Amino acid sequence: MLKVKMRQTAKITTSELDSFVDNIKRVKRIEKRSSQYKGIKWDRSRGLWKAEMQINRVYYFIGRFTTEQKAKQALDAFRMTKKVKEKGTSFDKKSNKWCARYNQIHLGSFVTEEEAKRARKEYEESIVRQKNCGVN
C-alpha cells in the first residue's frame, strides 16, 4: 500500500495578504531609490549614493557616499571649483565676473552670480511678454 504524505497549507486571510503585498511594494520602492537632486543617483550594486555630472560633454565622477546629503555636498563643492551653477550663467576667469547668456546673446557681465541669474530671468520674461502681446 502506498502512503501519501499530505502537506498542510496555511490559510491566509485577506488582510494578511494585503499587508504582504504592501511590504513587497515598499521593498521595490526602496530598491528603486531616486534622488531629489540632479546629479545624484542610487548605485544599487554597491548600496551607495553616487554623485556625477557632465560639463561640456565631459563626464565627471565625483564619488560614492553613504547618504544623499553627503553626495549633494560633494557635488556642490565640485560645482564651485568648476564655477558651474545654472544654465545661462557662467564664470569668466579672464574678467573674473559672471556672464549671463540667452542662446547666443550675451546679456552682460556681473559681479555676482545672482545678478547674472536675475538678468537672464528678466530677459526671458521680456521675451515671453513680447510673444504674448504678439510683438516679434
CB atoms within 10 A of CB 120: 21
Residue 67 near residue 47 (C-beta atoms within 8 A): no
pLDDT digits (tens, 9 = 90+) for 11-62: 666 676 677 666 666 555 555 678 888 889 999 899 999 999 887 778 889 9
Tell which wins on pLDDT, 82 or 130. 130
pLDDT reported for residue 36: 83
Task: Name residues whose C-beta falls within 8 Å of residue 75's C-beta, 6 or more positions apart in sequence.
Answer: 37, 39, 40, 51, 53, 62
pLDDT for the residue 90:
80
Higher model confidence: residue 117 or residue 81? 117
pLDDT in tens, 97-134: 888 888 778 888 998 888 888 888 888 888 877 777 76
CA 105 to chain centre: 28
pLDDT at 87 over 90: no
* Mean of pLDDT values over 4-15: 62
**Residue 89 in this model has a pLDDT that exceeds 90:** no
